[in-house]
Amino acid sequence: MLVKKVQASRDVLLDPQAAPWKQVAAETIALEGTPLALQPSPYIKAAWKGREIGKVKSVRLAALHNSADVFFRLAWADPDEDEKITDSNVFPDGAALLFPIRGDAPLQTMGSKSQPVNAWHWRADFGEHGKNNVAEGLGTTRLTTTSHVLCRASWNRGAWALVISRPLAVPDQAGDAVELRPGSSVKLGVAIWEGANGERGGVKAFSKVWRQAQFEA
């Protein structure tokens, strides 16, 4: 996919309903539930045996940058706006973008010790400040002490529209964040959590293979 360069401010491009998003093509990405075999917790494996993981089957993804920040717009159908934990079976809706920090990191296992991955994580109860996570394999996800990830989301008529953004350069997070720049390309993956289905942690829908994103110079 092309990450098109535009002349627009961060505040404008963070708005999922802003005019520039109506002028850029979005790609449909198929999602599948994370297999039970990839769940690191025996409790999760037992609790989810026979249940459907991955209620959200696809997401529409578009991307823009303004030479300083990159913006990814995700849109998917969701009949329920789940913004908080309401009981033991309902959790906040969520989404994440995953990038290899170096090398051809394995996506399905959330990277490896020698090839970590970087996740930008939004959840409906986070507000506008997303989380920056690093993983080196299943069950190793850690939250970094600083995050430059910003998010804005809106739910309307059974669908979420979400923008996840970050500065292209984050020198204070060397080793804990993917490096991005105009003219380069990066692999990415997508994950969606359907809170009404009880999805959280490793229980989610995700894209099974890396997709290539090319930044317009």
Report the CATH number at residue 124.
Answer: 2.60.40.1190
Q: What is the pTM of this model?
A: 0.95
Q: Which H/E stretch holds residue 61? A: strand 58-65
- At 87 the pLDDT is 65
What is the chain's pLDDT, residue by residue, as a tens digit (217 residues)? 999 999 999 999 999 999 999 999 999 999 999 999 988 889 899 999 999 999 999 999 999 999 999 999 999 999 988 786 766 678 999 999 999 998 889 999 999 999 999 999 999 999 999 999 999 998 899 999 999 999 999 999 999 999 999 999 999 999 999 999 999 999 999 999 999 999 999 999 999 999 999 999 9
Give yes or no for a contact between 11 and 73, defined as CB atoms under 8 angstroms apart. no
Domain count, the chain: 1
**pLDDT number for residue 86:** 67
Task: Give the model's pLDDT for residue 15.
Answer: 98
Res 119: pLDDT: 98
Nearest Cα to 117, choosing from 141, 97, 134?
Answer: 134
Instruction: Supply the range of the domain harboring residue 135.
Output: 2-215
Percent of the chain as helix, strand, coil, to the nearest 5: 10, 40, 50
Q: Which pLDDT does position 136 carry in this prediction?
A: 95
